[in-house]
């Protein structure tokens, strides 16, 4: 996927000049951290690279099971917002 694919999709949805892809990613990261998910899992989901070179050399974990759980929780959270339900952050 090219760098502009998500940007152009946002434009088509009417977000041009109102929001950015990075802003949505930052919002998700903040919310998922507040929900109590592990930072390593969140960072891997966002495809961020480990900054610590030694850790990056040794830790190749993908955290797939935790990421699936986290993304299911995130999807449920977004659906609840879309349905107008009161949404509170809570630790799993």
What does the pLDDT look like over 22-76, one tens digit per residue? 999 999 999 999 999 999 999 999 988 888 889 889 989 999 999 999 999 999 9
Is residue 20 left, alpha or beta, with left meaning phi > 0 and alpha meaning psi from -120 to 50? beta
Give 19's contacts (C-beta < 8 A, 6+ positions apart): 10
Residue 20, phi then psi, degrees to nearest 5 = -125, 160
The reported pLDDT for the residue numbered 56 is 86
The reported pLDDT for the residue numbered 49 is 86
Instruction: Please report the sign of the dihedral spanned by the C-alpha atoms of residue 5, residue 2, residue 75, residue 56.
Output: negative
Neighbours of 32 (CB within 10 A): 22
The reported pLDDT for the residue numbered 22 is 92
């Amino acid at each position: 996927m090219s760098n502009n694919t998500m940007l152009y999709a946002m434009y088509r949805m009417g977000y041009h000049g109102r929001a950015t892809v990075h802003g949505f990613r930052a919002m998700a990261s903040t919310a998922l951290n507040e929900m109590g998910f592990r930072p390593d899992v969140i960072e891997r989901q966002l495809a961020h690279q480990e900054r610590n070179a030694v850790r990056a050399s040794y830790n190749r974990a993908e955290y797939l099971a935790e990421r699936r759980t986290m993304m299911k929780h995130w999807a449920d959270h977004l659906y609840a917002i879309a349905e107008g339900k009161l949404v509170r952050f809570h630790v799993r």
